[in-house]
């Protein structure tokens, strides 16, 4: 086998693993939400959904600021928004 076909096989294998992981994670997410909705009240399910949204919205924001502004100078952020 040449290098190109080996690289394509590795890419296909990696894509297959990612696809299978996504499907499994979606299944468990659906199952967990169904169980929470079944065993808790509407208000408790709402609090769970709100907490999940807040958690996911905060998940990587702090790291993205560090990544895009490595010197930590936040004035660059505000000056870019004003112009």
Among the residues of 1-83, which ranges form H helices?
3-39, 42-58, 61-68, 75-82
pLDDT digits (tens, 9 = 90+) for 61-71: 666 666 666 56
- 5 and 29 both lie in a single domain: yes
* pTM, entire model: 0.57
Enclosing domain of residue 66? 41-83
Question: Based on the structure, what is the number of domains in the chain?
Answer: 2
pLDDT digits (tens, 9 = 90+) for 44-56: 999 988 998 888 8
- 5 and 35 both lie in a single domain: yes
Task: Give the separation between CA 63 and CA 30, rounded to whole angstroms.
Answer: 28
Residues of the chain predicted below pLDDT 50: 83
Residue 72's region, left for phi above 0, alpha for psi from -120 to 50, else beta, is left
- 4 and 18 both lie in a single domain: yes
- 15 and 34 both lie in a single domain: yes
Q: Is 4 in contact with 11 (CB distance < 8 Å)?
A: no
Nearest to 52 by CA among 69, 36, 63: 36
């Amino acid at each position: 086998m040449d290098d190109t076909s080996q690289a394509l096989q590795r890419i296909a294998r990696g894509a297959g693993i990612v696809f299978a992981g996504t499907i499994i994670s979606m299944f468990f997410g659906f199952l967990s939400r169904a169980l929470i909705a079944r065993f808790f009240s509407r208000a408790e399910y709402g609090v769970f959904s709100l907490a999940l949204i807040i958690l996911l919205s905060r998940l990587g924001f702090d790291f993205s600021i560090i990544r895009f502004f490595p010197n930590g100078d936040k004035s660059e952020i505000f000056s870019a928004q004003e112009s």
